Amino acid sequence: MSDISKDLALFNELVEALINEEEENPVAERIDSDKLYDSIDLSLNESAMIDDAFKTVLRNVLISTPKTATNLFFNQLFGGRQSKAVLGDLLAVMLNNSMYTYKVAGPQVGIEQEIIRQSCDLVGYGSQSNGTFPTGGSMSNYMGLVMARDAKDPNCRLDGMSKAMVIYTSKESHYSNAKNASFAGIGRNNIRYIQADSKGKMITEKLEEQIIDDINKGFIPTYVNATAGTTVLGVFDPIDEIADITEKYKIWLHVDGAYCGSVIFSEKYKHLIKGVERSNSFSYNAHKMLGTPLTCSIILVNDKKQLHDSFSNEADYLYQTDGDDFNLGKTSFQCGRRNDALKFWTLWKSVGTRGLEKIVDQQFELANVALEYIRSNPNYTLYSFDDSISICFNYKNIDPTTLCTALYEHQITVVGFGSFNDDTFIRLVTINANNKKQDILNFFKVLEEFVEKTPNLTKIKEMSI
Ligand SMILES: *Cc1c(COP(=O)(O)O)cnc(C)c1O
C-alpha cells in the first residue's frame, strides 16, 4: 500500500471516531487555555513518532477540538457540515492546484468561473461582470475598497494617495472596514460611520447629509459599504435607497453579503437585497449560509475592468500561456491561491440551484421557530427582528455574558453574545441548515435546564431611572 493509501485509511478511521464522538458528545470537553500544553501532547520532537502513538495523538487532538458541525454549536456565523462540499474540499486537497494559471489549474479555472458567472446572473449584473474568490469576507471588503479607490483616482495606483478620500459604512457593519481603511491608505479616521435606525439599518438620510457635508468641506466621497446581514443583528441595509445616493454622487457601492448575501439563491428572501444589481461590487461567503468548509468567499464586480485594473500585474515567469480570462491570477490578490471553488461547485452540482435555495430557506424557517418560541414565552426578552437568522434574546434577565460563558464551560451548548445600542444579549445563529425544528427547541430546553440547576447566575443590572 502506498503511503497516501495508508494515510487515507487512517483518515477514514479517525473521521469515523470523530463522527461518533460528535453524536455522543456534541460539545467538546473544554480544556482551560492555561492547561492546554499539559493536557494534550502538542510538542514537536527530534525523533520520529511510531504509528500507534501518532494515531493516539491525532485522535486526542480531534476529540478535544471544538466541534462546529454539531446541533449544539450556534456560536458564529457558520456551522454544520454539507457533506458534498466536504467531499469537494478533500478532492481539492488531493489535487493541490494553485488557481493563478490555466496551465496549473486546468478545468478548476472553469469551475471557478462557472460559479462566478451564475452568481453574477443571480445578482443581476451585466455581461461585463466577473469576480474572484478572496480569502474571506474581510478580504472581499478590502478588494471592494481598493477598486473604489482606484476608480476614483486611477493615479493613486502609481503615486499613492493624493486626494482626501472618505468612505461610508453603517455603525453596525463589520469591523474589517476599519482595518481595510487603514490598509488601503484611506485612514481609519476617514471612515464616516452612519447611524443605524432602531432596527439596525443604515439611515440613508444621514448618509446623504454626511456626503454633502464632506463635499462642502473638500473631501472626496469614494466608497459606501452596505451590509446584507449585519454581523450582530443580521439585518439588511436598504440597498435600493443607498444606490440612489451612490449613483447621484458617483460613489462606489459595495454590498457586503458575507453573512447573508446567499439570499441571492432564495426566491422568498432575495427581496431583502433589492437593488443589489445597482451596486459596483457584491460579496458573499459560501462558508457561512451555504455551509461549505471555511473559507469560501466570492466577490463579484459589475465591471470586470475594475478588478483587472486594480489587481493585475505583469509577471512573465508566471503567465506564459493562455489568455487573461483563463489566468485567474490576473484578478486576484494572492499569487499562489487555494482552490476554494471546487467544494462549492461539488455542493452546487449535486443539489442544484434549487437545493441551495432550500439550504438558505431552512435557516429562516429555523429562525422563525426560535422567534415563535421566544415570543410565546414571557421569560424571554427579544432584541432582534423578523427576516434575520440571528436571534437575539435574554432569558430571565440573566446577564448574557455570564450565561454564555457558563454554558460553554459546562459543555452545554456553544453560543455567543452581542450588543446593539445599550443592550447586550445572547445571539443564537440558525445557520446550520442540517438542524431541524427539534434541534432549535432542544437548544432552549438545555439552556433552561442549565439555568434551573445553576444557582446565582448574575442578573442584568437594573437600569437606574
Ligand atoms: C463574517 C463577516 C465578514 C468577514 O468575513 P470573513 O470571511 O470572516 O473574513 C465581513 N462582513 C460581514 C457582514 C460578516 O458577517
- Ligand 1 centroid, distance to 254 Cα (angstroms): 14
Mean pLDDT of the chain: 96
The rounded Å distance from CA 68 to ligand 1 centre is: 17
Whole-number pLDDT of residue 316: 78
Q: Is the pLDDT of residue 465 over 80?
A: no
In the structure, what pLDDT confidence band is assigned to residue 462 with cuts at 50, 70 and 90? low
Cell of 52: 500507534
Which residue has a Cα nearest atom 4 of ligand 1?
A: 137
Q: In the prediction, which pLDDT does 315 show?
A: 73
Which atom number of ligand 1 is nearest to the Cα of residue 228?
Answer: 13
Note the pLDDT of residue 365: 98
Q: How far is the CA of 335 from the centre of ligand 1 (A)?
A: 22
Distance from Cα 141 to the centre of ligand 1, integer Å? 9
Beta carbons within 8 Å of 69's beta carbon, 6+ residues apart: 22, 79, 80, 81, 432
| Chain segment 197-217, per-residue pLDDT in tens | 999 999 999 999 999 999 999
Beta bridge partners of 394: 381
pLDDT at 464: 45
- Residue of higher predicted confidence among 152 and 329: 152
Between the CA of 283 and the centroid of ligand 1 the distance, in Å, is 10
Is the domain covering 350-464 a CATH 3.90.1150.170 domain? yes
> How close is the Cα of 285 to the center of ligand 1, in Å?
8
Distance of CA 258 from the midpoint of ligand 1 (Å): 5
Residue 463 has pLDDT above 70, yes or no: no
Q: What's the rounded Cα separation, in Å, for the pair 121 and 127?
A: 9
| Ligand 1 probe mutation, 135, 145, 176, most atoms within 8 A of CB | 176
Q: Mean of the pLDDT values across residues 308-317?
A: 85
Residue 230 alpha carbon, nearest atom of ligand 1? 13
Burial (CB count within 10 angstroms: exposed 0-12, middle 13-18, buried 19+), residue 90? middle
Give the bridge partners for 418, in sequence order. Answer: 425
CB-defined site of ligand 1, < 6 Å: 77, 136-138, 174, 176, 227, 229, 231, 256, 258-259, 285, 295, 297
| Mean per-residue pLDDT, 296-318 | 91
CA of 137 to the centre of ligand 1 (A): 4
User: Which of 230, 255, 256 for a ligand 1 pocket mutation test, highest count of atoms within 8 Å of Cβ?
Assistant: 256
pLDDT > 90: percent of the chain: 92
The share of the chain scoring above pLDDT 70, in percent, equals 99
pLDDT in tens, 397-455: 999 999 999 999 999 999 999 999 999 999 999 999 999 999 999 999 999 999 999 98
Ligand 1 atom closest to 173 (CA): 13
**C-alpha 109 to ligand 1 mean position (Å):** 25
- Ligand 1 centre from 232 Cα, in Å? 11
Q: For residue 432, give the DSSP letter.
A: -
- With cell 479616521, the residue in question is 189
Whether CATH 4.10.91.20 fits 97-346:
no
Beta bridge partner(s), residue 398: 459
Ligand 1 atom nearest residue 231's Cα: 15
User: Atom 5, ligand 1: which residue's CA is nearest?
Assistant: 137
pLDDT of 109-120, one tens digit each?
A: 999 999 999 999
Nearest-atom index, ligand 1, CA of 295: 7
pTM, two decimal places: 0.96
pLDDT in tens, 9-65: 999 999 999 999 999 999 999 999 999 999 999 999 999 998 899 999 999 999 999
Tens digits of residue pLDDT in 247-257: 999 999 999 99
* Atom 2 of ligand 1, nearest CA residue: 258
pLDDT in tens, 210-243: 999 999 999 999 999 999 999 999 999 999 999 9
Environment class of 408 (CB within 10 Å of its CB; exposed 0-12, middle 13-18, buried 19+): middle
